[in-house]
Structures are given as structure tokens and as C-alpha cells.
Amino acid sequence: MAEIKQAARPLSPHLQIYRWSWTMAMSIAHRATGVALYAGTVLIAAWLVAAASGPAAFDTAQAIAGSWFGRLVLFGYSFVLLHHMAGGVRHFIWDMGKGYDPQTRMNLAKYSVVFSGGLTLLVWIVALAVR
């Protein structure tokens, strides 16, 4: 029986070939924050169920959310939410046909981290000041 020759095809590129860049990291971060938002939404739904269940359940939920760990989770959730929003704005800019040159792409990726971190701190400073 004749042997079948395999064509010499190029291998698909993998992570060892690419040099990490800001845009690559922010693409992965955008996907990760999307997944994290699902978990945070479950926590918000649990808080709403506790609020609808009565004062005892709501007091328990508030005690958990008000603990140091609960506030850390809420801080992380707010950062994830704002970072995902910043990534969405970055994608919207690209959808409008702008920002495709390499320097603008890198700046959008870098500043999305600065924007989301700064806005998270601002939101928490205002929230704690109003409280």
C-alpha cells in the first residue's frame, strides 16, 4: 500500500512565539473581567434576595458585605466593572475605525488600566465621604 505524504504545512503560532504586549494583556484582561462580572452579579443577586427575604437575612448580608473581606470583594468588583467598561470603550473606538496605529493601540491599552484604577479609587473615595 502506498504511503500518504503529509504536506509541509506551517504550524499555528503559539504563545512562545509572540512577545507580550499591552494590547494582548488587555485583551486577556477584558475576557477575564467579563467572567468575573458573572460571579459579582451572582453576589449582587444574593444580596437582593436577602433584602427581599426580610430583615434578618438582610442584616446578615450587610454584615458580610461590611466586613473587611466583603469590602475587599466589593472593591475588586468595582475595579473589574470599570476595567471591563474601559475595555469596552477601547473596542468601541476601534469599531468607529479609529486608533489602529500601533502607538495609539498601546496608549489605549495602557490608559485603560490607569483610567479604571483611578476611577475605582475616585468612586470609593466619594462613596466613603458621602457615607
pLDDT tens, residue by residue, 66-105:
999 999 999 999 999 999 999 999 999 999 999 999 999 9
Statement: residue 56 has pLDDT above 70: yes
Section 34-41 average pLDDT:
96
As a whole number of Å, the CA-based R_g of the chain is 22
* Alpha-helical runs (H) found in the chain: 22-53, 55-66, 68-95, 102-130
Q: Which domains does the chain have, with CATH numbers?
A: 22-130 (1.20.1300.10)
**What are the distances in angstroms from CA 95 to CA 11, 16, 63, 65?**
31, 29, 43, 38
Nearest-angstrom CA–CA distance, 40 and 45: 9
- Per-residue cell: 13: 503560532
Looking at residue 18, what is its pLDDT?
74
Report the share of the chain in percent with pLDDT over 90.
82
18: three-class secondary structure by DSSP: coil
The distance between the two most distant Cα atoms of the chain, rounded to a whole number of Å, is: 82
Looking at residue 131, what is its pLDDT?
86
Section 34-38 average pLDDT:
96
